[in-house]
Amino acid sequence: MKKLTLLRHAKSSWDDPVARDFDRPLNDKGKRAAAIMGKFIKRNDLAFDQVLASPAVRVIETLENVEPVSGLSFEPQWDRKIYLASSVTLMDVLRGANADADHVLMVGHNPGLEDLIFDLVPDDGSSEARDAVEVKYPTAALAELSLDIDSWSDIKDSCATLNRFTRPRDLDPELGPDYA
């Protein structure tokens, strides 16, 4: 049994005039949301054996805002393949995770993370968490999965259960879409 936690980067700034999407930084709301998720990680005693992350600026800044309040020290493995990756590519990255890692945190982007959940978790109509992901996988949301595999190389469609899906607005309503 392996555990996978997926964290979508926090809200980035579209007002910042950067030349490339890759270089977009977080906005203030995104920084607050990332810190709230870091507190959630600490409160729930989540710990990760390996962190796989996109090297996009908004992912780096998300981790910089999660780390100090989570009580954890991240040493991410930056992987350009995660940047705007498809579910298929994300599964390939996970197949290369450290063999001795029981719990992996992957930090990246949509729609890839959302599609990865849809591929890994069967749609049997019994998961409220999966239904919530179908509505929207917002920025800084955290999905926790259990995978019925012994080795990361065995990851495949329909091998997981979505245990919990937590959005920043679930922890602080002011981080929801109705607030600026």
The full set of domain ranges for the chain reads 2-12+22-174
Taking domain 2-12+22-174, whether its CATH number is 1.10.10.60 is answered by no
Element holding 38 (H helix, E strand): helix 28-43
Nearest 5°: phi and psi at 138? -70, 170
- pTM of the complete model: 0.95
Query: Tokens 């607030």 belong to which residue?
Result: 179
Low-confidence ranges of the chain (pLDDT < 70): 16, 178-180
Q: Would you state the pLDDT for residue 18? A: 72
Q: Which tens digit of pLDDT belongs to each residue from 23-50? A: 999 999 999 999 999 999 999 999 999 9
47 to each of 12, 92, 102, how far by Cα in Å? 25, 23, 10
> How far is the C-alpha of 13 from the C-alpha of 62, rounded, in Å?
12
> How far is the C-alpha of 34 from the C-alpha of 180, rounded, in Å?
16
> How far is the C-alpha of 122 from the C-alpha of 29, rounded, in Å?
33
Gyration radius of the chain over CA positions: 15
Other CB atoms within a 10 A radius of the CB of residue 118 amount to 17
